[in-house]
Structure 1
């Protein structure tokens, strides 16, 4: 009966707009149901964490795009063993049709297209090794359409970095390196390059993550970017808002072949010193310890599970089961960290390796050897 009365009362309740005026102030003073009278339902507005963003990228585009180049690579068409199909990302684009017609008349076959950027006014260009590594000929197109043949100065397969050079009759526009260590997740970036053969294209987005390992090599340490990156963007730069290069665009994850907002760039902190070494010597010499490592079975350090016969570790009397704690002053928290740290040492140099063996902590001097060719871990 009480339930029926209550329902009847609810049905007969007048809307607030129809209540007598003298009741409205009293109703307004009542607390909201389920909340204390002094506890507001919503917090007052707080100052925004981000107070401003770029209203336009146009000034940045004008500053840096003249130093971004398109790269086309070709192979001799009369050699069937070297002929390769055009990458899917370039098929069907105006670039492919125009370039095929021109290359066919020269007895050449297009292998692919990519991007690069000039880092020295004399014509030194940075790109990906997978863009130029198999080419018989490399052609670079500047943003104004001028074309030059290019020469490979050096490349590094493990980090997918290459340096090429063109000879221009005048100094060229160039860009400088920014410090990728200062980049935070959420920072703006702008990518530039040659997606699908459409030269001088730019896209913008943010840094989605740092330190990504995508299984490309033991030296993976990518910035994940959500600026659209597509086939043909490989080898192009990503810029901070100061117009400095903070990443070398290298790879995408996509089920369709186009951008789904997951792209990867090699941070400038890795690229810049490798480019300097490639310009100096044409190759990269890396250190090698001669051990097999295991992660996950110790809270600190990395366990040695096997030692190469005659390698530096054996000569320094390291043992299977030793746990590497530090190399020099740097803690070793994973096998990848240890591989990178040793690889950064010049072959022939001596490093102090702190280990734990049967509960005792020891320091062993190890003479780093030259990393054998063809090793991928």
Structure 2
């Protein structure tokens, strides 16, 4: 006897084998037997949560706060004249062609650097983007989803994390978005990216978080979220949202042999971006802590980072640290890599006090010390 049930893979075979060992039962009782057997099967809770039926409600809520950014830079004309005056050839002076010549040369002297994206975090006109989008611009123009265009000024940039803050003066409060906590983002979570790919204008893409903590060699503070939502040139500086409409990453880079998206994009987590943006708004630059050491990881010897060299004028030397010391914790927090130690020290305000747990010649002890100010070219 074979009892076939729909929607339960493998159930037909299981019940057929079980029925073969049962005594014959009347046809009227077969349904009752099958029902009793199904009741004894273990119930496994579903492991997969369904995705959103549509991203449209999320798009309507957050896209008005996503902006397109066009940047230009003034360059010298062919004669090397960058003083603002345009030299007109003598043959054209006083002729109808003089104005055309001046207009053409002005356009040539204003070079379009490119287009990028950004997002509003304050209705008064504060916008977050990448440093590589606006860092070298002489002129920044921000376009909104309703067609409004406004000039922007640069409030501050941080080259080491590729974060920048710009500001516009709107006639009325702008739509804005808030930060989410990227520490709660898990691999496999749904996300939506927004921006201005290839200068086409406002666009959105969806996907999942593919990995956390990626180091792509962009700088000493690399700690990217890897995203499979398509990100292309022009998406730089745009936001990645969680399903609550909060920004959990700043879209920054892609890996691609073609220049377009192949499903490997990277965003700076909000836990890094938000405090840097706050400092840039306040001071226009970032002051980072510094130890003055060269570090080496110990992959085969457990957690901690070993100091291999010390700057003679740095705070580590003044605190009594030595080459060969291993740093296990900073203010009680475990150190599991050179990057984690660098980030922990960089996050400390110059002049503040910290406690290092240090191992030297098998003995563990605590070193209180004052954090120095990180030189621009230093990594430790």
Which range, TM-score by smaller chain?
0.7 to 0.9
Correspondences of 1:198-277 after superposition (within 5 Å): 198-277=200-279
- Give the alignment partner of residue 54 of structure 1, picking from 48, 52, 55: 52
Q: Secondary structure at the match of 2:183?
A: helix
What are the ranges of 5 or more consecutive residues in structure 2 without an aligned counterpart?
1-15, 23-40, 83-102
Q: Secondary structure at the match of 1:199?
A: coil
Aligned to 1:18: none
TM-score normalised by the chain length of structure 1: 0.81
Aligned to 1:300: 303
Aligned to 2:123: 121
- Residue range with higher mean Cα deviation, 291-300 or 142-151: 291-300
- Give the alignment partner of residue 193 of structure 1, picking from 195, 198, 204: 195
Q: Secondary structure at the match of 1:155?
A: strand
Give the distance between the partners of 1:240 and 1:288, measured in 2 at CA. 34
TM-score normalised by the chain length of structure 2: 0.81
| CA displacement at 1:341 relative to structure 2 | 0.7
Is the Cα–Cα contact under 8 Å of residues 115 and 234 in structure 1 kept in the other structure?
Answer: yes
Aligned to 1:29: 20
Are 1:310 and 2:308 an aligned pair? Answer: no
| CA displacement at 1:252 relative to structure 2 | 0.4
The 1:58/1:157 distance shift into structure 2, 3 A limit, reads: same
The 1:300/1:51 distance shift into structure 2, 3 A limit, reads: closer
| CA displacement at 1:50 relative to structure 2 | 2.5
Q: Secondary structure at the match of 1:279?
A: helix
| CA displacement at 1:362 relative to structure 2 | 1.6
Q: How many residue pairs were aligned?
A: 326
Q: Secondary structure at the match of 2:119?
A: strand
Correspondences of 1:132-171 after superposition (within 5 Å): 132-171=134-173
Is the Cα–Cα contact under 8 Å of residues 252 and 264 in structure 1 kept in the other structure?
Answer: yes
| CA displacement at 1:141 relative to structure 2 | 0.6
Is the Cα–Cα contact under 8 Å of residues 75 and 82 in structure 1 kept in the other structure?
Answer: no
Correspondences of 1:83-94 after superposition (within 5 Å): none
What are the ranges of 5 or more consecutive residues in structure 1 without an aligned counterpart?
1-24, 32-42, 84-100
CA RMSD of aligned residues (A): 2.6
The 1:316/1:27 distance shift into structure 2, 3 A limit, reads: closer
Deviations 1:95-126 (CA, angstroms, capped at 9, x unpaired): xxxxxx99964841101110000000011000
Aligned to 1:68: 66
Are 1:323 and 2:326 an aligned pair? Answer: yes
Give the distance between the partners of 2:292 and 2:18, measured in 1 at CA. 81
